[in-house]
Amino acid sequence: MSSLVKTSYSHNVASTAMAMCSSFCPQIPNQFRGRPISSFPSRQPFSVPFKAFTSQANIKDQLPARIGFLGIGIMGFPMAQNLIKAGCDVTVWNRTKSKCEPLISLGAKYKSFPEEVAASCDVTFSMLADPESAVDVACGKHGAANGMSPGKGYVDVSTVDGETSKLIYGRIKATGALSLEAPVSGSKKPAEDGQLIFLTAGDKSLYDTVAPLLDIMGKSRFYLGDIGNGAAMKLVVNMIMGSMMASFSEGLLLSEKVGLDPSVLVEVVSQGAISAPMYSMKGPSMIQSLYPTAFPLKHQQKDLRLALGLAESVSQPTPIAAAANELYKVAKSHGLSDQDFSAVIESLKGKLQQ
């Protein structure tokens, strides 16, 4: 990619950087570094490169010159904001322009169509709500593909199914540009804190180029090989998460029904082998029947639906996820789509069962 700036890191630079690393280049813990998985095509393992940015000027020198961001929602907004705060030249687009205004006030540029963003930028990210939106923004009438050309890159960080990812990849590649899928594990707060996990697949050279940008927005990144593997990994992760939340909801309600304090249950769980940050973060508000949206319930149900489709395609039984999916569907039918996915607990309460 001739117009994209690629960086290399020597052993000496990395050693010096240990004492100089700014908040824009968090160190990546060893346990988060990508490892090859046997079900994926064989790849040589590689470690996440360490970067040293000693000033705003140096940050700009290390990154692609112009960055686009399509989709300024619950996740896209904080991700784009972190890029801007890191000194990046960012151009944004959203169907509702008003959502872009705070970013514009921070210095972002705005374009009226995705194709205009892609045409004016070296690398364009997209964060859309569902497969249909992802395809439309990338491949539609005024889609980003119309603004792509050799030397540019497109990074889709939306959660979609593998077929959608391959469709977008093919359309972008037909323009001569490079393409990468990079769905994220993490919700609103990790996005705000730059603590997302990127699950990438596609063009390795583009991955290498955008790695410093991923490190601004996240705490770790994995390169998983061929296009579709990132989407598959994300769907498996979210399938597990949705099932965990459904089971946790059952436990909270059962503890209360038998006379236990559900708040104590949250504490007990948080100190045992099944401890998960999700339980301690969501539990207290769930007990109060409050569900501030970090990850919308409708998106969790969408991901379960896509994961079940993935499982069906390889004849893998997933009865637990299938049962959880039905609970999320019940919650959606009672108007809880835009609440946090922890609102699935409401589908287990008597008032929704009657």
pLDDT at 352: 54
CA-angle at 46, arms to 176 and 8, nearest 5°: 65
pLDDT at 61: 61
Task: Please report, as a single letter, which amino acid is at residue 223.
Answer: Y
Residue 131 structure tokens? 């497969």
pLDDT at 62: 61
Q: In this structure, what are the phi and psi dihedrals at residue 20, rounded to the nearest 5 degrees?
A: -120, -5
The full length of the chain comes to 354
Distance CA 164, CA 132 (A): 8
CA-angle at 81, arms to 78 and 85, nearest 5°: 135
Distance CA 201, CA 53 (A): 26
**pLDDT per position in the chain (354 positions), as tens?**
444 443 333 334 333 333 333 333 334 344 334 443 333 443 433 334 333 333 444 555 667 789 999 999 999 999 999 999 999 999 999 999 999 999 999 999 999 999 999 999 999 999 999 999 999 999 999 999 999 999 999 999 999 999 999 999 999 999 999 999 999 999 999 999 999 999 999 999 999 999 999 999 999 999 999 999 999 999 999 999 999 999 999 999 999 999 999 999 999 999 999 999 999 999 999 999 999 999 999 999 999 999 999 999 999 999 999 999 999 999 999 999 999 999 999 999 976 554
Residue 97 DSSP SS3: helix
Distance CA 229, CA 243 (A): 21
The answer to whether 306 and 134 are in contact (CB under 8 A) is: no
Please state, as a whole number, how many other Cβ atoms lie within 10 Å of the Cβ of residue 56.
12
Catalytic residues: 234
